[in-house]
Amino acid sequence: MKRFYLSAAVLAASVALPALPAPAQTNEITIGITLTTTGPGAALGIPERNALDFVTKEIAGVPLKVIVLDDGGDPTNATTNARRFVTESKADIIMGSSTTPPTIAVSNVANEAGIPHIGLSPFPITPDRAKWSVTMPQPIPIMGKVLYEHMKAHNVKTVGYIGYSDSYGDLWFNDFKSQGVAMGMTLADEERFARPDTSVTGQVLKLVAANPDAILVGASGTAAGLPQTELRARGYKGLIYQTHGAASMDFIRIAGPAAEGVLMASGPVMDPEDQPDSALTKKPGLALDKAYEAKYGANSRSQFAGHSYDAFLVLQRVVPVALKTAKPGTLEFREAIRQALISERDIAASQGVYNFTDKDRYGLDDRSRILLTVKDGKYVLAK
């Protein structure tokens, strides 16, 4: 498993989380981040890692010690990384991971240890994960609604679904049943595939045979391009909808001409230029995209880079509040961070305006979404 470090710390293996003594006060804030920078989810994790080049290195005069590890998208690896952050790094804050299954694993560790956790992937925040976890990406219902509204406006009656055979695929399938069906659409067929799969021919043939008006793809990263390409290759002429998990330039690269005309939910960071000046997401979105594309090339902007970048914008608001009552490296500081996360209001970032509460651990509203399509190999706003 490859490891990436933004500090000089060297972490050793740990497999269990024993009873821990209270952490000692320090003069720096330690942040442990586990990302998926290898494997099928690397198209999400690499931009999240890259965006760390542009985040603040200190907050309120206190330096940040940031430790980044790769989990390869494996929940077991993510669990190990999170436990290392707890037992060895004595982290004040944990972030990650890049895809849903390992993010669930990280949340479980963080809530067990009582450490603030900022997820970088949509994941189900159940009551046992709600105390210490929030997450940056838009919740599925907000992003799903913009897709179903477009379907309804374009007289879509039947929808086929193909998605991951894991929790991310489940989140989208359940949301379609909850929201899409309520808007008048019916499910024509449901198909699933695993993230590492290299072929979805069998599933696509069944979808094409069902001949729905539209197909919703519940996948993320470069793997989302696989059903897109296969559907067009097998002659499917209907509308194809993709989730915000696919919103990257890599999707266009992988899908090629088959990407033309796709409808894709996205965060506003993919097109801050067309936002009104009054939009609170415009300034941070422009700042990130300008810096990111200056270093990583034209049109390299990424939905996923926004998640890690925005996590630090959130910290720039909550850490100064926490520092008024506690010092880094203490249990009191962790609790102060947790409280500040749910008390600070209207935290403007590239992907939305965050208002976390005890009950809403996503903290976002409709300002966090746009609808894109691909025209002539480029993302443009959909109509």
- Please give the backbone phi and psi of residue 257, each rounded to the nearest 5 degrees, phi first: -60, -25
Would you say residue 10 has pLDDT above 90?
no
pLDDT of residue 221: 86
pLDDT tens, 301-332? 999 999 999 999 999 999 999 999 999 999 99
pLDDT of residue 1: 41
Name the helix (H) or strand (E) containing 380.
Answer: strand 378-381
DSSP SS3 for 149: helix
Mean of all residue pLDDT scores within the chain: 93
Domains along the chain? 29-138+301-368 (3.40.50.2300), 140-266 (3.40.50.2300)
User: pLDDT exceeding 70 applies to what percent of the chain?
Assistant: 93
Would you say residue 14 has pLDDT above 80?
no
Would you say residue 179 has pLDDT above 60?
yes
Q: Taking phi first (over 0 means left), then psi (-120 to 50 degrees means alpha), and beta for anything else, what does residue 236 get? A: beta
Q: How much is the pTM?
A: 0.87
∠ CA 270-171-302, nearest 5°, is 15
pLDDT of residue 16: 46
Would you say residue 5 has pLDDT above 50?
no
C-alpha 200: how far from its chain's center?
A: 24
According to DSSP, the β-strands at 214-218 and 158-164 are parallel
pLDDT tens, 246-263? 988 889 999 999 999 999
Residue of higher predicted confidence among 222 and 270: 270
